[in-house]
Structures are given as structure tokens and as C-alpha cells.
Amino acid sequence: MRKILIAATAVMLTAGASMFGASAAEKLKVGFIYLGPVGDFGWTYQHDLARQALVKEFGDKIETTYLENVSEGPDAERSIEQLVRAGNKLIFTTSFGYMDPTLKVAKKYPNVHFEHATGFKRDKNMSIYNGRFYEGRYIQGVIAGKMSKSGVLGYIGSFPIPEVVMGINATILGAQTVNPNIKVKIIWANTWFDPGKEADAAKALLDQGADVIMQHTDSPAAMQIASERGKLAFGQDSEMIKFGPNTQLTSIMDNWAPYYIDRVKAELDGKWTSEDTWGGLKSKMVVMAPYTNMPDDVKKLAMDTEAAIIDGKLLPFKCPVVGQDGKEVECKGGTHLDDGQVLGMNFYVKGIDDKIPGK
Amino acid sequence: MQLVLEKRAERSNTIALVSPLIAIGLTLVTMSILFAILGKNPVSALAAYFIAPLTDSYSLQEIAVKATPLVMIAIGLSLCYLANAWNIGAEGQFLIGAVAGSWLAVKTQGTGAGPWVLPVMLLLGAAAGALYALIPALCKVKFGASEILTSLMLVYVADLFLDYLVRGPWRDPAGFNFPTTAEFDPVATVPILIEGGRLHLGAIIALVVVAAGAVLLGKTIKGFEIRVVGAAPRAARFGGFNSNQLVLLTFAISGALAGMAGIIEVAGPVGHLQPGISPGYGFTAIIVAFLGRLNPVGILIAGLFLALTFIGGEQAQIAMKIPLDVTKVFQGILLFYVLACDSLILYRFRLIFASRQVA
């Protein structure tokens, strides 16, 4: 009993202190939950670049805090709640696996605003945001279709979830516009980040005749292997040209800074509302690294494709989209697959000679 | 002059009591130096680690939540280790228990089943964990296969089996194809003990397990057999104890406890089955078992202490912006000192002066 009393007093004291603290300093506290260590490339690094951009933009009007290496299991909820309890009023949780924990904490703290990346559950005080990376993958497909001599692409998948499946489909649809007979070999690494596994996968793909490597995993290992063998590859999430100066064709870079700045500004102005944002090349949430190691005509084709997507003239999932079974997929978006169909994508398009694991 | 480590005639009980304190003292000194090098105030950093988490009921609850699976698994492991049976696969038994219990939760979802669901889930978890642990135990007893290898290998089997289930048959139909089951119904969820917190019934079950472990080892003949078989196998044989039977028994108990911890974690803090439900609890519990000197009460303290360093590490990240890696260094140094100081129980330092050695 005595312990409970002591604990209760302590809670009241800390609660009082934090309320006092919040009113004394008017800094907006912005918190981040990171999946990996910050490092110097990849998914988490890109989120941290955006955090640094916030600090630069808003200076001492805000204070940022992050927790790194937060696993997507039972610990996530606690980590998010720790940020809330430390006085953070706007919290970015930057991986899919934080969706349910974020939702739970959001329900518990209705006055705190949450931003969850790449999920699909929303609430009054929980926005979701994601990038249309498939737009970049379509461009990569066009480039790969042109650059591949063997006509075989090597694709390292992370997990067979819609985000990854849509990327594979977009790549093939892009490649088919320049080489209708393009083939793709897919290896599932079952990890987002494991340089050893990724390197092994790249070697296996090259051994199977692939000569352009792309991946939905985070490390530059695949590019380094392609580089050793004198083949070509794409970067992932970040600019990775330093890992393969003669290898990288381009890289799909995540650019969260404009969005984060928007959201923090809204929060500071008291205008934050729960939103669902899926930004692509047009809003610059997805940015292509310079097109390198390719002839000028391919470079021009890539740039034209990029411009057409930005203008809305080219839709990667334009109807008709034909599935592996040869049947047309229902066209819910009128001229193209609607966002719901893309977000839940669980089929391969015609031309992929493989099967989605677990299906 | 020479410093030598020399075996004591008998184990020193004084040192056995004091050595954890020496270890903690040395850790504090080392970490203070490290914090100072990082430019952080050592006193406030240490306070963030050790004091802050103990000052409010929220953090205390979180410590208990984190310690629950660690303690339950470690108690089971300690029985194995005392009997000289090396179960390294508690992680796998944890996962299989989670899977077996989740089976019922998934099957009864939305059927309006009564409150019998949760108790049956816990029993299923324990039974599955025990059976899974009996595989390496039987291989050892029947064929003399190393239980260290077989139990460890079965961890990966369990991990991939869980993976298959949540990507295939048990996938949440409304979950956009993401690898997770639907949220469990309330009757399939471990009840929360304090409104608004995360402390759940599992913490009480863990305490019961500690008490049962203490009674088994201290007051029963089976407990005596377990200790004798481990400490003096020859004497045990002369005493007519069946060491094979004890291997099976300790493995079964340890598997049952790990399995139950698994389903409690899934039906409690997580709320659904997904990959990555364990951040390595089954392996961390090995450390907890030895840190607690294979003694039930010691394990309880060690589990709580390790949980404290996790929670404290997180608060230090938030409050002091100390990187996560420092927390890991911190835990590593602590374990190093604890084990190093333990050698002083059986050994002592002696200074030998060169002059005396002239012969």
C-alpha cells in the first residue's frame, strides 16, 4: 500500500512538473520512432534527414527527439508512449509495423497528434502518409528494360506485402514498354535490412543470368555485388552512387522533408488535422537520383517518363492491367487502378513468371 | 611483483553476496567515464537510467510488463541448466506457444465464444511449448544428439512456421495482405490490471511461477534430484536418480513456461499474432537465468533489473539524447562485470613479490 502511495505521489509530481514545463517553455516537441539505427543511408536515414530539415527550418521553435532501433513488436507501444509522456505533441512513427501500437496510443492521448508512415489505419488524431514509390519503380523498369542485354532483371524483395508487390509490377510494366519479352527473377530476402542476405541474393540473381539488379531492401550490398561483377543496379531510399560509381543507374530517394515541414507548420499554427497523404514524384515526396551510367537516349527516355508521370499524362497502373492469368483486372479508377486496388495489390501482372509466396 | 588469481579453498559466501554490488559499482564508474567522454553529465545520465523509471507508476508497470516473459522463461531454463540439460531454444518454444494459443483465438474470432477462451489458450500455449521442447530432449535421450544444437535449430523452424501462418491461412482478411492476424476478441485477451496502463495478468502468473519454482527446488525431492543430477552426476547415478527422465521433465517444464509466456505476450501487449512478436526474449532469458544465479528469486530480481535497463535506456535516449548503442554498451559492461566478479567467489587475487620468488 505504501509503495502504491509513493508511486501515486510520484506520478502526480511528475505530471505536475511536465504540465508546468510545457507552459514554461513554448517549444513544440516533435518525436520520431525509427525502425533502424540512423546510419548514413537507407529508410531511417531519410527520415532523420527530414528531422534535421525541421530543425533547420523552425530553429528553436521546436525540439525534436527520436528513438532508434525500435522493434515492430510489443516494445513499440511503450516507446511511442514514452515520447508522449516526455511531452511530445506531434509524433512521427516511421514504419508500417507501428500502425496498431500508434493507434492504441493515439486513442489513449486524444490531444497528441500522430503521423504514421505507410499504414492504412487512421483516427481523429492520427494521420497516415506514404510515398508513391511505384512511380519511381516504373521509371527504373523503363531504364532496366533498355539497359539489360540478357533481358533478365534481378529483383530482391523484402516481404511479399502489397507495397513490394506493387513495386515489382510497376517495374515490369515499365520494362515491357521498351522490351515486351523482359523477364524478372525474384528472390525474397524476408528482411528489410541484412547486407549478408542481400549480397547472397544478388549473387544468386546474377548467376541466373540477370544483369540489372534492383531491390526493395535497404542496404547497398546488392549494388556492391553488381559493381564487382561489372553489372548494373539501382539504389534504394537514398543516393547510393558512392557504393557503385560505375554501377548505379538511379535511385528512388525518399524525401520526407517537405511533408514534415508542412505538418509541423500546421501544428504550430493550430491547424493540424488528420489526413491521408500519398505523395509521389509530383509533390517531391519521391525523388529520382541523377540518371547515370547510361547512354543519352536512355537518359532522355527516363527523364521524359519522369516528366510524364509528374504531369499526370502517364499512370503506371493505367488500364488495362492484365494479371498473370491473362485476365484484365477490374478497372475501379476509370482510366487506371484506383488507390485501394494499388494499396492492396496481391497479384502479379502478366509477364512475371513466378508466384507470390504464401498465396 | 606479480598479481595472480588463485583458487580459494572453499567458495566465499561474503563475496557471493557482495559481488553483484561490486559489479554494479564498477559499471557505474565505467559508464560515468563514458558519459563524460560523450559530453553528458554522468550523474543525470545515470539518474535517467536507474532512478527516473522507478519514480512513476507508468514506468514501473512497463518494467513489470517487460520482465514478465523474461522471468517466466528464465525460471524454466534455470531448471534445465541446474539439471545439466542445455535448452537454448526457449525462443522457439515461446513462438510455438504463441502460435498454438493464437489458433484458438483465430478460430473463435467473432463467434461470441465465452470467457473460457483465454484459459484454454494459455493451456494450449503451455502444452505446445512443452511438446516442442520434448523434441530435442527426446533426441538427446534416445540418440544422444546435442540438445544445444537441436533446440537452437528448432527456433528457426518455429519462426518460419509462424511467418507462414500469418502470411497465409491466418492472415487478417481486412488487413491489406499485411502479415498479421486480426486483433483478438476481448475474451481472447489477457486482462489489464490497472486501468489505463499495460500491466496485465501475466505479471501475476510470472510471480506464481517464481514461487512454484522456489518450492520445487527448495522443498521437493524432484527439485533435489534436479540439483544433484546437475552438480554431481555420478552421485546421482549411485542414488538411483534417472537422469534421462529429468532431462525430459526439465525440458518439458521449461518449454511449457516459454510457451505460456509466448501466448501471454501475444494475447496481452501485442493483441494479435504477427512476425517479430519476440525481440529475442528466449535468448535474453538465458542471460537472466545466469544473472539470477539459477535461483528463482535471483531470476525475479535479474529480470526486473534487465527490464529497468531497457526502460531506462529509452528514457535516457529521450531525456539526454544518449544513443541507443550506449545502452547496449551499458548492458554489455554490466554483464561482463557481473560474471567477472563472480569468479572472485571461487578465486582470489594475490600479490606475489618478486623477491620471494628468487629461488
pLDDT tens-digit profile of B119-150?
999 999 999 999 999 999 999 999 999 999 99
d(CA A329, CA A325): 10
d(CA B275, CA B261): 16
Number of domains, chain B: 1
Contact B57 A8 (CB under 8 A): yes
- Provide the number of CB pairs (under 8 Å) joining chain A to chain B: 93
Asked if residue B24 is part of any domain, the answer here is no
Check: CB of residue A206 under 8 Å from CB of residue A229: yes
Assign A123 to helix, strand or coil. strand
Contact A161 B179 (CB under 8 A): yes
Contact A78 B318 (CB under 8 A): no
Could you give the dihedral angle defined by the CA atoms of residues A55, A61, A67 and A69, in that order, rounded to the nearest 10 degrees? -20
Contact A120 B176 (CB under 8 A): yes
Beta bridge partners of A276: A128
Q: Which of A82, A83, A100, A355 best probes binding to B when mutated, by most B CB atoms within 10 angstroms?
A: A82
Helix and strand numbers, DSSP H then E, in chain B:
14, 2
Contact A78 B270 (CB under 8 A): no
What's the DSSP call for residue A212? E
In this structure, the strands spanning A248-254 and A62-67 are unpaired
What's the DSSP call for residue B292? T
Q: Residue B122, CB half-sphere, CA atoms under 13 Å: how many?
A: 17
Compute the C-alpha angle B158/B160/B164, nearest 5°: 115
Q: How many residues in total does chain B contain?
A: 359
Beta bridge partners of A349: A323
Tens of pLDDT, residue by residue over A326-336, are 999 999 988 99
Of B178, B198, B324, the CB nearest to A96: B178
CA of residue A103 relative to chain centroid, distance: 20
Asked if residue B39 is part of any domain, the answer here is no
- Closest by CA to A136, choosing from A171, A162, A164, is A171
Residue B213, pLDDT > 60, answer: yes
Q: What is the pLDDT of residue A359?
A: 63
Helix (H) or strand (E) holding B237: helix B233-238
**Interface list for A 23-62 with B (CB within 8 A):** 31, 37
Asked if residue B152 is part of any domain, the answer here is yes
B68 Rama class: left (phi>0) / alpha (psi -120 to 50) / beta: alpha
C-alpha cell at A70: 525500435
Q: Which residues of B touch A65 (CB under 8 A)?
A: 317-318, 321
Q: What is the pLDDT of residue A74?
A: 78
d(CA A133, CA A253): 9
**How far away is chain A from the Cα of B174, in angstroms, using its nearest Cα?**
10
- Closest by CA to A273, choosing from A125, A149, A83, A119, is A125
Cis ω on the peptide bond leading into residue A74 (within 30° of 0)? Answer: no
What's the DSSP call for residue B2? E
| Shortest CA distance from A29: residue in chain B | B318
C-alpha cell at B256: 511449457
d(CA B94, CA B73): 8
**Hunting for cell 559499482 — which residue is that?**
B25
- Closest by CA to A263, choosing from A359, A128, A164, A123, is A128
A73 touches B at CB < 8 Å:
yes
| Shortest CA distance from B181: residue in chain A | A100
**Does the global pTM surpass 0.90?**
no
Q: What is the pLDDT of residue A39?
A: 84
Residue numbers of the domain that contains B129: 68-292
**How far away is chain A from the Cα of B52, in angstroms, using its nearest Cα?**
10
Average pLDDT over residues B81-85: 94
Asked if residue B303 is part of any domain, the answer here is no
Assign A232 to helix, strand or coil. strand
d(CA A268, CA B165): 45
Q: Which of B193, B321, B324 best probes binding to A when mutated, by most A CB atoms within 10 angstroms?
A: B324
Check: CB of residue A92 under 8 Å from CB of residue A31: yes
d(CA A102, CA A170): 30
Q: What is the pLDDT of residue A14?
A: 46
Asked if residue B156 is part of any domain, the answer here is yes
Asked if residue B17 is part of any domain, the answer here is no
Residue ranges of chain A with pLDDT lower than 70?
A: 1-25, 358-359
**How far away is chain B from the Cα of A79, in angstroms, using its nearest Cα?**
7
d(CA A321, CA B313): 50
Q: Which residues of B touch A343 (CB under 8 A)?
A: 176
d(CA A331, CA A344): 14
Rg (CA), chain A: 22
**Hunting for cell 528553436 — which residue is that?**
A60
Asked if residue B163 is part of any domain, the answer here is yes
Asked if residue B345 is part of any domain, the answer here is no
**CB within 8 Å of B211: residues ≥ 6 apart:** B296
Dihedral sign for Cα atoms in the order B34, B40, B43, B45: negative
Q: Which residues of A touch B315 (CB under 8 A)?
A: 82, 86
Of B56, B177, B270, the CB nearest to A14: B56
Tens of pLDDT, residue by residue over B282-313, are 999 998 998 888 999 999 999 999 899 889 88
